[in-house]
Amino acid sequence: MPELVVTALLAPSRLSLKLLRAFMWSLVFSVALVAAAVYGCIAFTHVLCRPRRGCCGRRRSACPACLSDPSLGEHGFLNLQSSGLRLHYVSAGQGNGPLMLFLHGFPENWFSWRYQLREFQSRFHVVAVDLRGYGPSDAPRDVDCYTIDLLLVDIKDVILGLGYSKCILVAHDWGALLAWHFSIYYPSLVERMVVVSGAPMSVYQDYSLHHISQFFRSHYMFLFQLPWLPEKLLSMSDFQILKTALTHHKTGIPRLTPNELEAFLYNFSQPGGLTGPLNYYRNLFRNFPLEPQELATPTLLLWGEKDTYLEQGLVEAISSRFVPGRLEAHILPGMGHWIPQSNPQEMHQYMWAFLQDLLD
């Protein structure tokens, strides 16, 4: 068929897709402006209530002692083959078994896996990485450096760079989103997955279009589409919005000590420390609309019954995309979003049972 004819036949579909994306972006930025107004009021209220903290975040000069706890493992850096970036990681139990690679979420870092690093180092080589843009890892400034495709290549380079051909991937929140995609595009590198509080983006997209309440739970991600303003609002009154997210008595991480809180705030307080993590969100809508994808990697999915940010209905939506028999899903009563830190013992019990056959 002549190329001109093919182009003419495809023109209506291409135009429809462009119009759909234009409508989507206009809607996203409209909601982003509303979210900015709401978060602006919250941020300025914090400043008025705590005037001594001022309108900017205080830069931390000393690294919290808990980030150097030797029981968690040894610190190292890995130069990635594809991008040349240098990522920071903490490793323990080398030589004790298969690679167990941990991917954190936002606003977290490798330290969010402290309980799991201690628990599993006796039978696995456990590695918790600071994803690009986080902590001491390299943090390119350009938004285009944080696309899903590039982040997935980072994970591949970490696995191969550590000398392994496959791993057990354990992920939470944003790390979970990356893990789902990684299992689709690099299935040979993933032996098992443990996913906590996170859905594949295509599932999240379809579910949210039919359940507008999920959009309200994720309102913050619309704010993060804007340039520079989210960084400013999150840092006001010495990062009070982030502090509240992590320590709130109902929705935060229970029993988080002041020193542990500083372990998360330390790197965010450095110049440009928030831009890299927020650039993840600024790429969320780049490939909209997403096609449904079948999931096949043997996976343990843990979900908090009282998750503030993600509805329980997403678990059933995820299950519907799986090859039968490959997913073990549990909704944990009374638990929230931060299961690896808030309920590590329960998480560990499910993980040991799920991985037992690999150890026999």
The tens digit of pLDDT for each residue in 230-281 reads 999 999 999 999 999 999 999 999 999 999 999 999 999 999 999 999 999 9
Identified catalytic residue from 46, 125, 172, 337: 337
pLDDT, tens digit (0-9, with 9 covering 90-100), for 118-172? 999 999 999 999 999 999 999 999 999 999 999 999 999 999 999 999 999 999 9
DSSP assignment of 68-100:
G-GGG-EEEEEE-TTT--EEEEEEE-TTSSSEE
Where along the chain do its domains lie? 17-59+208-283, 73-199+292-358
Strand ranges (DSSP E) for the chain? 74-79, 86-92, 99-103, 125-129, 167-172, 190-196, 299-304, 327-332
Could you list the pLDDT tens digit for every one of the 360 residues in the chain?
566 654 555 555 566 656 667 777 788 888 899 999 999 999 999 999 888 888 888 999 999 999 999 999 999 999 999 999 999 999 999 999 999 999 999 999 999 999 999 999 999 999 999 999 999 999 999 999 999 999 999 999 999 999 999 999 999 999 999 999 999 999 999 999 999 999 999 999 999 989 999 988 999 999 999 999 999 999 999 999 999 999 999 999 999 999 999 999 999 999 999 999 999 999 998 877 788 889 999 999 999 999 999 999 999 999 999 999 999 999 999 999 999 999 999 999 999 999 999 987
The question of whether 281 is a catalytic residue gets the answer yes
Q: Which residues pair with 295 in a beta bridge?
A: 322
Architecture in CATH for domain 73-199+292-358:
3-Layer(aba) Sandwich (3.40)
Evaluate whether 243 touches 268 at the Cβ level (below 8 Å): no
Identified catalytic residue from 173, 206, 238, 307: 173
Cβ contacts of residue 116 below 8 Å, gap of 6+?
102, 126, 128, 170, 340, 344, 347, 348
Identified catalytic residue from 204, 207, 280, 281: 281
Evaluate whether 284 touches 221 at the Cβ level (below 8 Å): yes
The question of whether 219 is a catalytic residue gets the answer no
The owner of tokens 């689709």 is 184
- Phi/psi-derived region of residue 331, left when phi > 0, alpha when psi is between -120 and 50, beta in every other case: beta
The question of whether 173 is a catalytic residue gets the answer yes
The owner of tokens 């507008």 is 212
